[in-house]
Structure 1
Amino acid sequence: MLFKHLPDEIFQALSGSNKILIEAVLYDLAEVFYDHAEDPIKDKSTIIESIEDTLHKLDTLSWQEEQKESFDSPKTIHDYALRIYHRLVNTGWLVEEQELYRVSVLMTPQISMLLRSLVEISSHGKRNYGATVLSILSNLESVAKHPKERGVTLSQSAEASRDFSAHLNQILLGIRSLQQELFASRDPKAIVAGFFDLFVEGILIADYKTIKTSNNPFRFRRQILEHAQEFLSNPETMGQVAQCYMDQQLISMAEAQALVEKDCRDIILTFSNIEQRLERIDEYRYRLEKRAADTARYMDSSRPGMANKVAGIIADVAKFDSLPVLKQVIGAKFVGMESAAQPTKRREPPPPRIMTPTEVSAEAIKVRDQQRRFHEARQVTIPKLQSYLERQMETKDDKHILDFSIESVEDFVCFDHLRYVGSLGVSAKKIENSFEIQFTDQFLDVHNFVECREFNVVRRSRA
């Protein structure tokens, strides 16, 4: 049986006339018993104080007598807390244990799991899929690197994938039912309020806007599929992961291999058809947003009271099976074809573009290398200049300008900058300490390359 581990009276507290008080108390008691840093067995006084704190937060208190009880009608917060406490003990939500004069209260594991599930259902809220997808990818990468030691994390990735897939289905069905509910409503205020309260706050994914961007949470889908397919196609990796399953879960090798194969196929199935389900979700979302936007547009007006008047006209017209002919409205034209708002066009995504690598010709590579070498040759550095001087001077103590040779672009650039050694800064001090440039007032033409003032390069004395 589905509820064989639960008491028969467990749901009586949530189905009676006092269920609002019981629900509020159980919601707060969930936090008290879920505190991982404290002892799960609580004192009776602690539980009663927690119930009193919950009742203080409620606006009104009203206890309905459901059956003959020995207690008087509650008059104070403490009386209400005691009545609710005994109600929870009698229906099986709380279990009392007595040691001498000390009474302790606890929840059985089955009741604790039930309460945790009910709290999660009531506060399902938004989810962030980026962290879920990243955790799945991280676990698969860990399994790929260390299949024998960390292969069991594959089951966690598969469980997260199944939970992720189930939540997508819940979003799809939730939007569909919400769409039918709002489309059937004739109250414009209810349509707009329902859109924001039920859809935007309750169903929409937290990072839904990022799905259409380059930083979307599903950009790692290809790596996830590759890892899962690699595990299935590689017998060695499959055997190591199955061995880890067998050691951790104490099952046979055949059962472990079947579990590994099932987990891999669940991951592949989840991330293979994710685009189709996201497209259906986007289609329902577009219809829902269009309905709410059109309703809000008709309600919005700069004239005082016009929104209420138009809403009243729409509500009155909805009562007729066939639309009446409004002959007196034709001349006024405050509601007519001219005032009908045009629905916004749906923005279609751009078609996919195939990226092809561009091949660079050998001639272009050759020209690029020549240009790079030419620019490198034109750069003047102190080591180049010093090497040129040492090569030209060799063992001579002085040398005339016409005795210098120019055999390449580097030699020409170095020769042209010999005249400016004194203005090259601190880095050229080493050359100035070794050589001295002595100029005259006469201009000479050197090797038909350059015309400049005559100078001699003299090696300075080492002493």
Structure 2
Amino acid sequence: MLFKHLPDEIFQALSGSNRALIEAVLHDLADVFYDHAEDPIKDKSTIIESIEDTLHKLDTLAWHDDQKESFDSPKTIHDYALRIYHRLVNTGWLVEEQELYRVSVLMTPQISMLLRSLVEIGRHGKRNYGATVLSILSNLEAVAKQPKERGVTLRQSAEASREFSAHLNQILLGIRSLQRELFASRDPKAIVAGFFDLFVEGILIADYKTIKTSNNPFRFRRQILELTQDFLANPDTMGLVAQCYVDQQLITMAEAQAMVEKDCRDIIQTFSNIEQRLERIDEYRYRLEKRAADTARYMDSSRPGMANKVAGIITDVAKYNHLPILKEVVGARFVGMASAAQPTKRREPPPPRVMTPAEVSADAIKVRDQQRRFHEARQVTIPKMQSYLEKQMSSGNNKHILDFTIESVEDFVCFDHLRYIGSLGVSAKKLEDAFEIHFTNQYLDVHEFVECREFNVIRRSKA
């Protein structure tokens, strides 16, 4: 049976009139017993002090005697703590062990698991699945590289996939129930408050906003599906992983093979239909947001008392099975044609487009290469100018402007910039130290190519 490992009186503490106090105490005791760095067996005084700390945080204290007990009604915080402690011991939540004069308190494994589950249900906070998907991918990659040694991690990936799939179902069912609850409400304030408190803070995934982006947590889905399908298609890998299951869990080979196949198919099923499930969640989310946005739009106004007036009108109109005919509503100031705002249309995603690589012709590639080489040749660099000068001045230390040769675009660019060496900046200091240029006032036509002032280039002496 499901409850055969639990005491019969386990839920009596949570069903009486004092269940609010008991619930607050158990919630804090969960942190005390779950501390991984401490001994799970606690002193009785430590537990009572923890209960007193919890009671100090509560606003009011009131004890209801549901049944006749030998204790008097508590009057101080310590009395309340003792009464709650004995209630937890009597109902089986806490177990006392006495060694001589020392009383220790502990929780049985079954009670600890029950309390942990109840705390998780109570928190029901946001979850971040980016790390979960990454852990599944890393485990599958480890199995692919070392199936015999790391094959047991396939089991962990399957458990994480099943837990993720179950949480998606919880989100979908939670949004459906919240939608029915909010749509049935006639109180605008309750609709807006319920949307933010129950949906935004409780149900929505922490990284939900990244699902539609390139950095979404499910961008590794294709790699996960490929690795898992390769496991099923490769009998050798399946055999090594199954042998790892046999060694770790002490089962037969047939049972291990069936377990490996089931784990792989669960992973494939989870990540294959994830888009359809996210689309359904997004559809319900859109309806909730639209209802909350419409309600907030009619409640929001800069006029004093406008929100209360509109809320009262909506509440009064909701009492009628058939809406009354309002003949003079258009002439009213606070409700008129301007208040009938159109709801925003839902933006549909663009249709899928088949991406085909564009083929570039050989002539276009040739023209592009020619243009690139031409632009590179036009670039003025100090190494180019130094190489040009060294080549031209190899025959002597003094050279006239008409003795320079121009054989290419690079030569023309270097020759044209010889006149501006002094204005090329610090990088041209090396050329100024090696060569000196003397200008005259006469203009010459150099090789019928360019007209410029006459100059002589003289190599400076190293001494």
Regarding TM over 0.5, the answer is yes
Q: Could you tell me how far apart the structure 1 residues matched to 2:361 and 2:295 are?
A: 60
The residue correspondences of 1:331-410 to structure 2 (distance < 5 A) are 339-410=339-410
CA contact (8 A) 2:399 2:458 kept: yes
Structure 1 position 242, deviation (Å)? 3.5
Report the CA distance shift for 1:364/1:75 in structure 2 as closer, same or farther (over 3 A): same
Structure 1 position 40, deviation (Å)? 0.8
The residue correspondences of 1:184-195 to structure 2 (distance < 5 A) are 184-195=184-195
Report the CA distance shift for 1:187/1:398 in structure 2 as closer, same or farther (over 3 A): closer
* Higher mean C-alpha displacement, 151-160 vs 304-313: 304-313
Q: Could you tell me how far apart the structure 2 residues matched to 1:305 and 1:211 are?
A: 40
Q: Could you tell me how far apart the structure 2 residues matched to 1:331 and 1:459 are?
A: 97
The residue correspondences of 1:24-423 to structure 2 (distance < 5 A) are 24-301=24-301, 304-305=304-305, 307-323=307-323, 339-421=339-421
Q: Could you tell me how far apart the structure 1 residues matched to 2:196 and 2:438 are?
A: 88
Q: Could you tell me how far apart the structure 2 residues matched to 1:95 and 1:231 are?
A: 48
Q: Could you tell me how far apart the structure 1 residues matched to 2:444 and 2:151 are?
A: 82
Q: Could you tell me how far apart the structure 1 residues matched to 2:429 and 2:199 are?
A: 75
Q: Could you tell me how far apart the structure 2 residues matched to 1:358 and 1:388 are?
A: 42
One-letter identity of the residue aligned with 2:130:
G
Structure 1 position 104, deviation (Å)? 0.5
Q: Could you tell me how far apart the structure 1 residues matched to 2:322 and 2:388 are?
A: 102
Structure 1 position 44, deviation (Å)? 0.2
3-state DSSP class of the match of 1:105?
strand
Unpaired segments ≥5 residues, structure 1: none
Q: Could you tell me how far apart the structure 2 residues matched to 1:200 and 1:126 are?
A: 9
One-letter identity of the residue aligned with 1:289:
E
Q: Could you tell me how far apart the structure 2 residues matched to 1:128 and 1:168 are?
A: 12
Q: Could you tell me how far apart the structure 1 residues matched to 2:346 and 2:199 are?
A: 20
Q: Could you tell me how far apart the structure 1 residues matched to 2:129 and 2:270 are?
A: 14
CA contact (8 A) 2:306 2:334 kept: no
* Higher mean C-alpha displacement, 363-372 vs 439-448: 439-448
Report the CA distance shift for 1:442/1:153 in structure 2 as closer, same or farther (over 3 A): same
One-letter identity of the residue aligned with 1:69:
E
Q: Could you tell me how far apart the structure 1 residues matched to 2:153 and 2:111 are?
A: 29
Deviations 1:291-348 (A, max 9, x none): 2333333444555545445544544454444455567878768667775443332222
3-state DSSP class of the match of 2:13?
helix
Q: Could you tell me how far apart the structure 1 residues matched to 2:339 and 2:440 are?
A: 94
One-letter identity of the residue aligned with 1:42:
K
Report the CA distance shift for 1:408/1:17 in structure 2 as closer, same or farther (over 3 A): same
Q: Could you tell me how far apart the structure 2 residues matched to 1:357 and 1:271 are?
A: 29
TM-score, normalization by structure 2:
0.89
Structure 1 position 83, deviation (Å)? 1.3
Structure 1 position 68, deviation (Å)? 3.0
3-state DSSP class of the match of 1:97?
strand
Q: Could you tell me how far apart the structure 1 residues matched to 2:351 and 2:49 are?
A: 62
Q: Could you tell me how far apart the structure 2 residues matched to 1:394 and 1:235 are?
A: 74
Matched, 1:14 2:27: no
* Higher mean C-alpha displacement, 8-17 vs 329-338: 329-338
Report the CA distance shift for 1:453/1:199 in structure 2 as closer, same or farther (over 3 A): closer
Q: Could you tell me how far apart the structure 2 residues matched to 1:189 and 1:290 are?
A: 15
Aligned counterpart, 1:3: 3
3-state DSSP class of the match of 1:261?
helix
Aligned counterpart, 2:450: 450
Q: What is the identity percentage for the equivalent residue pairs of Structure 1 and Structure 2?
A: 88
Structure 1 position 152, deviation (Å)? 2.7
One-letter identity of the residue aligned with 1:3:
F
Q: Could you tell me how far apart the structure 1 residues matched to 2:14 and 2:380 are?
A: 88
Report the CA distance shift for 1:286/1:385 in structure 2 as closer, same or farther (over 3 A): closer
* Higher mean C-alpha displacement, 127-136 vs 321-330: 321-330
Deviations 1:214-265 (A, max 9, x none): 3333233223222322333334444443344343333344433333322222
Unpaired segments ≥5 residues, structure 2: none
3-state DSSP class of the match of 1:12?
coil
Deviations 1:364-396 (A, max 9, x none): 211111111112222333333333333334454
3-state DSSP class of the match of 2:10?
coil
Report the CA distance shift for 1:400/1:187 in structure 2 as closer, same or farther (over 3 A): closer
* Higher mean C-alpha displacement, 163-172 vs 448-457: 448-457
3-state DSSP class of the match of 1:212?
coil
Structure 1 position 290, deviation (Å)? 2.5
3-state DSSP class of the match of 2:219?
coil
3-state DSSP class of the match of 1:121?
helix
Q: Could you tell me how far apart the structure 2 residues matched to 1:292 and 1:12 are?
A: 40
Structure 1 position 78, deviation (Å)? 1.3
One-letter identity of the residue aligned with 2:293:
A
Report the CA distance shift for 1:184/1:404 in structure 2 as closer, same or farther (over 3 A): closer
Report the CA distance shift for 1:422/1:73 in structure 2 as closer, same or farther (over 3 A): closer
* Higher mean C-alpha displacement, 96-105 vs 276-285: 276-285
Report the CA distance shift for 1:419/1:340 in structure 2 as closer, same or farther (over 3 A): closer
Q: Could you tell me how far apart the structure 1 residues matched to 2:430 and 2:320 are?
A: 102
- Number of aligned residues: 463
One-letter identity of the residue aligned with 1:261:
E
TM-score, normalization by structure 1:
0.89
Q: Could you tell me how far apart the structure 1 residues matched to 2:392 and 2:330 are?
A: 103
Q: Could you tell me how far apart the structure 2 residues matched to 1:350 and 1:86 are?
A: 64
3-state DSSP class of the match of 2:104?
strand
3-state DSSP class of the match of 2:64?
coil
3-state DSSP class of the match of 1:13?
coil
Report the CA distance shift for 1:98/1:395 in structure 2 as closer, same or farther (over 3 A): same
What is the RMSD of the two structures over their aligned residues, measured on CA atoms?
Answer: 3.0
